[in-house]
C-alpha cells in the first residue's frame, strides 16, 4: 500500500509539473503575440514604473495607497462584468481589504446591475470601461469606437457620478483610431501582464495556478468575474500573493504618483 501511495504521489507531482510548464509556455506565447500585435500597430506602451518616474519630482502617492516605487505592488483587474458572482467577489475583497479595478461592459451588465456598480465605487474600487458590447475596436470605424466607449462612459457616470478614466480594449486589440478616440474621451488604455485564460476553463485550481505562475511585481492580473471558475479561485490567489509579500492596489494606485494619460497605453 505504501508503495502504491508513493507511486500515486509521484504521478500527481509529475502531472502538476507538466501543467505548470504548459501554463508558463502558453503565457509566454500569449505575451509574445500581444507584443507583436502592438508593435505591428506602431503602439508605444508605458510600464507602471515609467509612469511613476514621469511624475513631477515633488509628487507623492495618495496617502491611502502604497508607494509602489518601494512596495511590491500588484493590481487585480476583472473584465466584462458585473455578473451574478460579482457581489460574492466584492464580499471577499472587502473582507481581505483588497482593492481591485473593474473594467465593465455596458450592455447587459452595467445596465442590469446598477447597484453592484454603485457598490464597487462606494467600496473604493476603480470602475473602468470595457466597451458597450465587447466588439473588437480595431475593426471598427472611429464613430463606432466612440459609440462603444461613450455609451459605457455615460452609463457608469449616471450610476456613480464619475466618468471612468481607464479603458481596456477587448482582446487587447488597439490601433491609431482607438488611441485617438480614447484620448478624445479622456481614457487611458490598460493592458495586462498576467492572464489565466479563465474563459477557457471552469477549473478554479488551474485558474489560480496560472495566475500565480505569472504574477510579478508591478503586474496587472486579468481575470473575468463572469465565468463560473473565476471567483472561487480568487481566495487562493489573494492568500498566496499576500504570503509572497505583495500589496494589492488599483491600476491608478500602481501608476501613482504618475497618472494615466488619456490615449496612452499602459502595460507592465
Find out whether 164 and 189 touch, Cβ atoms under 8 Å.
no
Of 218, 216, 225, the residue nearest 251 (C-alpha): 218
Distances (CA, A) of 114 to 155, 164, 170, 175: 9, 15, 22, 31
Give the whole-angstrom CA distance, residue 130 versus residue 126. 13
Residue with grid cell 505591428, as numbered in its chain? 40
Residue 93 contacts by C-beta under 8 Å, 6 or more apart in sequence?
Answer: 99, 100, 123, 125
Active site residue ranges: 79, 224
Distances (CA, A) of 133 to 128, 151, 204: 14, 10, 26
Give the whole-angstrom CA distance, residue 232 versus residue 134. 24
Cell numbers linked to 96: 481581505
- Which DSSP category does 140 fall into? S
Amino acid at each position: 500500500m505504501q508503495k502504491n501511495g508513493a507511486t500515486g504521489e509521484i504521478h500527481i507531482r509529475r502531472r502538476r509539473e507538466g501543467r505548470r510548464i504548459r501554463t508558463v509556455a502558453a503565457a509566454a506565447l500569449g505575451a509574445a503575440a500581444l507584443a507583436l500585435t502592438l508593435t505591428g500597430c506602431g503602439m508605444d506602451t508605458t510600464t507602471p514604473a515609467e509612469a511613476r518616474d514621469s511624475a513631477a519630482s515633488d509628487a507623492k502617492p495618495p496617502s491611502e495607497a502604497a508607494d509602489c516605487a518601494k512596495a511590491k505592488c500588484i493590481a487585480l483587474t476583472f473584465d466584462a462584468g458585473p455578473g451574478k458572482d460579482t457581489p460574492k467577489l466584492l464580499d471577499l475583497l472587502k473582507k481581505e481589504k483588497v482593492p481591485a479595478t473593474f473594467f465593465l461592459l455596458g450592455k447587459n451588465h452595467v445596465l442590469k446591475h446598477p447597484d453592484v456598480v454603485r457598490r464597487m465605487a462606494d467600496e473604493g474600487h476603480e470602475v473602468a470601461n470595457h466597451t458597450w458590447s465587447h466588439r473588437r475596436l480595431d475593426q471598427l470605424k472611429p464613430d463606432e469606437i466612440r459609440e462603444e466607449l461613450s455609451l459605457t462612459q455615460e452609463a457608469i457616470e449616471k450610476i456613480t457620478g464619475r466618468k471612468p478614466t481607464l479603458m481596456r480594449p477587448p482582446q487587447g486589440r488597439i490601433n491609431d483610431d482607438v488611441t485617438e478616440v480614447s484620448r478624445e474621451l479622456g481614457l487611458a488604455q490598460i493592458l495586462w501582464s498576467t492572464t489565466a485564460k479563465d474563459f477557457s476553463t471552469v477549473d478554479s485550481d488551474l485558474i489560480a495556478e496560472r495566475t500565480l505562475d505569472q504574477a510579478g511585481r508591478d503586474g496587472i492580473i486579468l481575470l473575468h468575474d463572469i465565468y463560473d471558475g473565476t471567483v472561487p479561485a480568487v481566495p487562493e490567489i489573494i492568500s498566496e500573493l499576500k504570503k509572497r509579500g505583495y500589496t494589492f492596489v488599483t491600476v491608478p494606485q500602481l501608476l501613482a504618483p504618475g497618472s494615466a494619460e488619456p490615449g496612452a497605453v499602459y502595460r507592465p
